[in-house]
Amino acid sequence: MDRPVIRLKPKADPRPVRWGRPWVYASDLVLDRRTKSLAPGSLARLEDGERRALATVAFNPGSKIAVRVLDPDPEVEIGREWFAARLERALALRERIYEAPFYRLVHAEADGLPGVVIDRFGEICVVQPNAAWAEALLGSLAEALVDVTGCRTVLKNAGGRARGLEGLDDVSGVLVGAAPEGPARVPMNGAVYLADLTGGQKTGLFYDQRENHAFVARLCRGASVLDVFSHVGGFSLAALAGGARQALAVDGSAAALELAQGGARAMGRELAIRRGDAFEVMEALAGEGAVFDVVICDPPAFAPSKQALNAGLRAYEKVARRAAPLVAEGGILCLCSCSGSADLEAFRAASVRGIGRAGRQGALIYTGFAGPDHPVHPQLSETGYLKALVFRL
């Protein structure tokens, strides 16, 4: 197969690639005028410094992650059948775990599709092609997705931050079928969620917290619950399904809160909402003397990169400091982080500092991560981004 050759520098160690690492940084490659002129997403043959073939890869000269390893076979054809094989393997795992077709179907590198995220909502699949190679082959991917899952609609979501780093646009659209006329109804942990698949955040719903929702819901029977950074009601709706007496959802998005209330009504329950800046609302609630049996804070990624780590950890500490006074004596505080750059130890330390500076003490009773439909690639710590800490104060 006549593909361009990308070569490791003579001193670059090829063993990580042979052992499964799916990324090679530009600093480890021989980049000459020829390679730099290749189109982003070009398929290429990766060789070590001694010209021995390593893999079929996707190359993007404009990205820090210049090489994404697609297949250890340097001669493999990357097309509809190749995508189908990857998707069949991913689907087989999810069908062993979940009874209903609502889950993350593809979690990027850990499912053998670097930079690709696919969330499934029954007969609708939402694809995030966050790497240039996936954007270039999106037609074949969508065709294989229909073949394997039988879905009727495939949507493209182009809102991922990673697309900008790959030099890609932010234009979403419909790849197969027709756009849904309203929010998708998603059953999860006994709750009902409404997901805006065309205009919502990311793919419309966060499946990664499913296991943590379930654990916290067990602590909410008969409880009053505060869900801060609630989005479409992730923890608050799970709490109501688990028997919470009442729940208050706080978020800056009116549209997300409307969907959260719609989900509660679909369950035959009522959900109180409060729109505003999360820190300001928590401060106001404290001034009002409000206390709750269970408080959950699930903020966006405050540390999306290593450069933002210190500021992000200060923000997580501030969340804990503002939230802890709102927890009743003997109550529960759940703190979450979806920042891949903040590892578990750093996030836990920031959370404990915040709790202490609020004048509270607590025992850590649960540490949670993303569910099994978000598998972790063992050579990419970034894929294990989600952390949830549950304290009894």
Catalytic residues: 338
The 10 Å CB-count burial string (b at 16+, else e) for 362-393 is beeebebbbbbbbbbbeebeebbbbbbbbbeb
Q: Residue by residue, what is the 3-state secondary structure of 106-148?
A: EEHHHHCCCCEEEEEECCEEEEEECCHHHHHCHHHHHHHHHHH
Q: Is 75 exposed, middle or buried (CB count within 10 Å of its CB: 0-12, 13-18, 19+)? A: exposed
The token duo for 17 is: 């690639």
The token duo for 383 is: 């894929």
Percent helix / strand / coil, the chain, rounded to 5: 35, 25, 40
Phi-psi region of 191 (alpha: psi -120 to 50; beta: other; left: phi over 0): beta
The sign of the CA dihedral 194, 197, 198, 203 is positive
Round to whole Å and give the CA distance between 353 and 152: 49
The 10 Å CB-count burial string (b at 16+, else e) for 261-300 is bbbbeebebebebbeeebbebbeebbeeeebbbbbbbbbe
